[in-house]
Structure 1
Amino acid sequence: MRLEDWNKALIWESEFLMNKKYYSIGSAMEKAWDRNYPDIIKNEEIDISELRNLFWTKGLKSLKKTNEEILRRYENE
């Protein structure tokens, strides 16, 4: 899997955890990373530090939007 694909997968799993399991942003990101880390390190083409940096910058930005959507949902209930 390519770097961008891994990042998208990690973001998707984090969003799932936030929406369905009520994890905070940081907890969801750590859980998604931990769950996928064994498969990430098997891929020799992936620079793990680059993926982690991408996930914690681009992923965090995306997940902040998800968090805002979740908060709006609760405010409107």
Structure 2
Amino acid sequence: MSKLKALMKQRRITQVELREISKTICKVPLPRYTINRIYQGKLTNYSMETLIKLCRVLEVTPNEILSKSDYDKLFKV
């Protein structure tokens, strides 16, 4: 299970609700496709911009969303 999925389940937020919140917070909202792929664990090498948007929308730090391998891919460690 992706950390995003676990976090959303814990907070009882659906993918649709996450997108709606992103519309109010971000100039360019998170695409539904991107949210779904990250949620399903199929997209792990997303952009820093996407990570920042997720953090702003969910009011969390990157550590709460990224796994160690995601972190390594994003920052090419």
Flag whether TM exceeds 0.5 (same fold): no
Q: Larger RCO: Structure 1 or Structure 2 (Cα < 8 Å, ≥ 6 residues apart)?
A: 1
Q: Give the alignment's TM-score, normalised by structure 1.
A: 0.29
Q: Which has the larger radius of gyration?
A: 1
Q: Give the alignment's TM-score, normalised by structure 2.
A: 0.29
Q: Name the one with the larger helix percent.
A: 1
